[in-house]
Chains A and B, each alone.
Chain A
């Protein structure tokens, strides 16, 4: 509502105030006072007209304040009206008093509305002068980004924790005993060729070439008595020259379940849960036979290509399938060496390559990206992918 509209509506309000009719017999019973009353009424009317006139001219806060003081002040005409009704008889006092009261409160209200209007007007003017250019660049409030591998690992951890697995840790400087021997790979075994290892002290201490020693450590800790469900994401090391597809340091995500009557199909079901969460619900899992010393039967785990859904593309090298893990039923020798009676207990173990998973998931084609850390590249990983799964 603008000022003119306000004025119009306020004046209308004032004009609508109930009038005392001089022709009303009842009110003017006392003839002596009739003239007096008419005089008063004229006066009131002239105050009102005067008020309306002034109101019509008002244009700012100061002026409305002046009007307020002029009309409603202690010496103002409205107060004066009260003093003049002393001579009226009771009924007339009542009638006339009501009339003045009504006039006063309406006037007060009208003035308040004008004050409110001018106050708002004042604020609006101030705000209008405070316009900014919202298109200017923001102040960067940045939260740190998880490392790509860590982002993936945390997603996987979350899934396994929800299935009752503990996330544990193990040493990177490890004993040959745990890294190889107790995994059914005795000294001099050809299986060691595939894992060209950094030895530290003779053939006894090494940089672990796989996270599988954590299986052994976990089993030894549980003393052959407790069922086990654990995963261990961790750094591993092999004597490889660093290039786009090789790294002397890489991350494996090891997993172990030891319980009773565990089968290969349980392993498949478990891996299904993980890949469906990680990639999408329509991902299929396939096992291919493989050979590892510490699992028997051993399998390679393929998933249907999440990119082309099996039609064939770059990522799956046109096969429709992608290998993501090695796994199998824990070898009875491994169980018994670590204190679990293979006649009572059985279990499965698996290992994912974190870099490989991340390369697949985020379409990265050079392993060195993970360890060079160009800060310009990592910002895109500061994002949750809430809508992709579930």
Chain B
């Protein structure tokens, strides 16, 4: 949050329309997400001239409030309302934050023409129990009756809310840094604040010894001030903190926050008298403990950085101070810390301890040493001015920071080539000047020094091209086609298979769905027929989505149930997605679920989904992929499928998937599913070759066998085919019968056999011999008998 009133301290923007400025800033790369103005119509300062209890309430009061133009009667429930005070009155017609409209009304029978407000009701404070208990805001006596209370409070401000997820470093999240961005946009100059103060003869080095025993603290500065007077902050500090959403506490705490919001450099204040005379910065020890400012005991790890008094920790560096050295109301002498810590370490510590704060976020993004330095002086300046502090001379410091400025060398053509447009040299110069990046030109080569505050810029042409480009204006970038060679784009690897199979499944009437990869434990317990071990997320968002699935079928069943409860009965769906097992082995699965009608007619016969239909879909896919004669189905008791209506699908004798009806204990409806491993379908197949049909006539023979019920059609076909030999070109089932005329454990299956020789006309006699041989084989091998002999 950036207060534009505050920014005005560093740059002159008094002539700017702040909405337009927000647009300009967004256009050059810093996203202003929201412009907030603390302006509410129909608010006035009023004076309570009479306050009597409400006859029908134990806590409401009836107030007569003078608002200059008239005297209003307002019913108020705040405990602190009384005669003689000046208050904020929301008149009928005012709309308070939360779209709360004020209207004249009767409260328990008494007319009330407005509302006396608390700060939280105006959106100026958080709505907490504490703030609620405080009651209405009582204004100072100098507030003018009838005037705008927000002007009186000085919080009539414009606030920019920035998109903190954009990854440019933190230089725009403090007011001076943001002022530099405005300066670049508007081509103006930044004026830095006053850092001057008087120093006493006494030197801090007489009181403190600093030792840094970790390489995670490259820069540490400390100054000491004495005789601080802890009191309320001056108005301007309070107002500014309030307007960016920070609560004023007292002058000392507020000054440390104020400086942080100016320079982006968090400061820490120690009570010198409880701290002692030594500061040792070191890595924490495992299981070392500290009670932080919030009164909680924290367990440290050796990856954390701590500030100690030589022995015990007094502060978790960059994250939170310790209670033992906290600045309290009686504090007189303060040690100010302004330092840079390893950003990665701070981020880990803050997130492990769940202590993300304005300060830790800033440490975590990295800091500029120049501002570390300026911030400590600025704090001294403010403490002297607003806390009557005496500043000791000298500074305690540890300095391992690399101060070599970053430079970038480039020729204008390099930038032109990267942006794809020609920018005049004079325009490049202008943009660098707007950015306040010092440069020299040597024989046409630019040598630019990157200011330390721009930690995000590296010494490469891309970075400088971006800075010049964004100010020059990306709208000036034209459209060109890459100068690359012609090539054919294609689907690669399993994408190709996925696409083809997907299209085929759609053409077969299956609708594509997409479901979540993450599923619940109860979902992962079903259809785990492959017995793969699941990946369980160590930190899921919810139990519902805590496991990476190893089968798509539970998700498809979910879609089925979702639709079924919405009275959709004909459900034919498929999904192709990846699964992962415990060892991170990836596999693409094709799954489909079918139920209800496949071909639907509302007034005559439809075709219903059954096992043979879904089997037909599988065969269609496998044939389409060129696997004809290489696959088979074997009866199998697949987990969570109906034990009598389920099968394994084999390709080249290896299981590639399953199909069947869902077990009635999982789903009582007749629902059929299939799941196939796509990876196993990516094997080589023969190319398509045209095959001429035989010119000679075929001979057809029909035969019907009575067999034991356990004998499968596949078994019979096998015998028929092996004894039929080369001349038998096709075998087809044309009837299956159980019931009358047959024993209970019997069934009859009828086949139509086709004989053909591509080279000659067959004669009836030879075929009869072959046909009889086939019948004999089936009879003897499968204990079959010929029906209708």
Contact = CB atoms under 8 A, between A and B. Distances in A.
B515 interface: yes
Given A140-B599, A200-B537, A376 B566 contact: yes
A344 interface: no
A127 B563 CA distance: 44
B550 to A, nearest CB: 12
Interface residues of A, number: 90
A266 B470 contact: no
Contacts of B507: 143-144
B380 to A, nearest CB: 30
Contacts of A198: 518, 537, 539-540
A50 B750 CA distance: 63
B109 interface: no
Contacts, number: 256
Contacts of A269: 478-482
B502 A188 contact: no
Contact of B603 (A137, A201, A268, A299): A137
A374 B562 contact: yes
Closest 3 CB pairs of A and B: A265-B420, A188-B344, A263-B420
Interface in B534-592: 535, 537-541, 545, 548, 559, 562-563, 566, 568, 571-574, 577-578, 580, 584, 586
Contacts of A329: 418, 462, 465
Interface size class of B (residues with CB under 8 A): 35 or more
Nearest to B496: A167
A178 B600 CA distance: 49
Contacts of B512: 144-147, 150
B489 A290 contact: no
A298 B265 CA distance: 27
A47 interface: no
Contacts of B599: 139-141
Nearest to B507: A143
A257 B482 CA distance: 9
Interface string B493-522: 111000100100111111111111110000
Nearest to A241: B541
A173 B535 contact: yes
A342 B460 CA distance: 10
Nearest to B170: A190
A266 B506 contact: no
A296 B461 CA distance: 9
Given A288-B474, A329-B462, A370 B493 contact: no
A73 interface: no
Interface of B: 26-29, 31, 165-169, 343-345, 347-348, 361, 364-365, 417-421, 456, 460, 462-463, 465-466, 469-470, 474-475, 477-495, 499, 502, 505-518, 535, 537-541, 545, 548, 559, 562-563, 566, 568, 571-574, 577-578, 580, 584, 586, 599-604, 606
B493 A169 contact: yes
B195 to A, nearest CB: 28
A288 B741 CA distance: 83
A188 B343 contact: yes
B197 to A, nearest CB: 33
A268 B418 CA distance: 12
A287 B28 CA distance: 10
Given A198-B518, A289-B466, 8 more contacts: A140-B600, A191-B167, A199-B539, A257-B482, A261-B483, A268-B420, A289-B470, A296-B466
Contacts of A140: 599-601
Interface string A226-259: 0101000001010101000000110000000101
A287 B477 contact: yes
Contact of B167 (A146, A190, A259, A372): A190
A63 B517 CA distance: 80
Interface in A140-193: 140-147, 149-150, 154, 157, 160-169, 171-173, 186-191, 193
B506 A143 contact: yes
